[in-house]
Copies of this chain bind each other. A is one copy, B any other.
């Protein structure tokens, strides 16, 4: 039997690194944290990394790739990893990489993502092609919008043309139906080894200033001319009404099933492996309990961070604290011990 002591679990020191490294430790792996210089103290403080590799900038990742290969490291791609490198460069990674690489293109391209989610039967907010089509509240998202700013709401073509003036130089944008309802982020894990999918947890984001303007009385908001922005600052744990879980479970299963039919850009054939490991459906739940999914993340998301010691849902199934980070380390462990590692590498 192959032995996990021959491997390191490695990730970039940001996003969900704490739970990934801690989870890997708990499953018995040695760990490497690739840190931006000056940020290593945090990871040392929590004792989650056996080795720390310093980089001036995360975009210099390829400088240390050989080092990782020599150490037999398996890299765990999280949101910051994909964001710093870009999904195209992730395709070129030679170090062992957990999770499907091909799926990242489908996740990163709004048109392809929509095609996938629609094939899975999910309800999505309507998208308008031109401002003239606006016949209800829409949220206008700029392609270049970084960190949640550069969004606005418009109710008509006229309002769109009026408010877009405040964003000179912004070229591309998406016009998405604005669904009034609560945001809910559903976290899943699908294992290729066992063929089982689990609902891991739920969260809501804590966004600045979106989650604080409600604390300002309407009169004062009007006085100060408050505008909403959506910079993610953290996450708040929540549980979802139990009667909704069967549908959420089905949504997750359908997304996995459809992912296996998606066409790989490079080969022109269906993705060999499809979606597996952790993923997240980001949705608005309206007052009639309809889920409107507006995005999928095909890798671990920061919304799982509240559950480093397990979630109300993982405690149903596991008798140890099962974070999403630990769940994927366990997937790798089972793959190694079953001589099936290639099946979980992308």
Contact = CB atoms under 8 A, between A and B. Distances in A.
A246 B153 contact: no
Which of A47, A48, A182, A224 neighbours the largest number of chain B CB atoms within 10 Å of its CB? A182
A289 interface: yes
When all copies of this chain in the complex are counted, the total is 3
Interface of A: 14-19, 22, 38-39, 41-42, 45-48, 80, 137, 147-149, 153, 155, 159, 178, 180-184, 196-199, 202, 204, 206-229, 231-246, 249, 284-289, 302, 305-310, 312-313, 315-317, 321
Which of A42, A206, A313 neighbours the largest number of chain B CB atoms within 10 Å of its CB? A206
10 contacts: A45-B198, A45-B249, A48-B316, A149-B287, A159-B223, A180-B213, A181-B212, A206-B238, A218-B221, A236-B237
A24 to B, nearest CB: 12
Contacts of A217: 213, 221, 226-228
A240 to B, nearest CB: 4
Contact of A222 (B16, B214, B219): B219
Nearest to A305: B239
Which of A199, A207, A237 neighbours the largest number of chain B CB atoms within 10 Å of its CB? A237
Contact of A226 (B218, B243, B313): B218
Given A38-B246, A180-B213, A234-B238, A307 B312 contact: yes
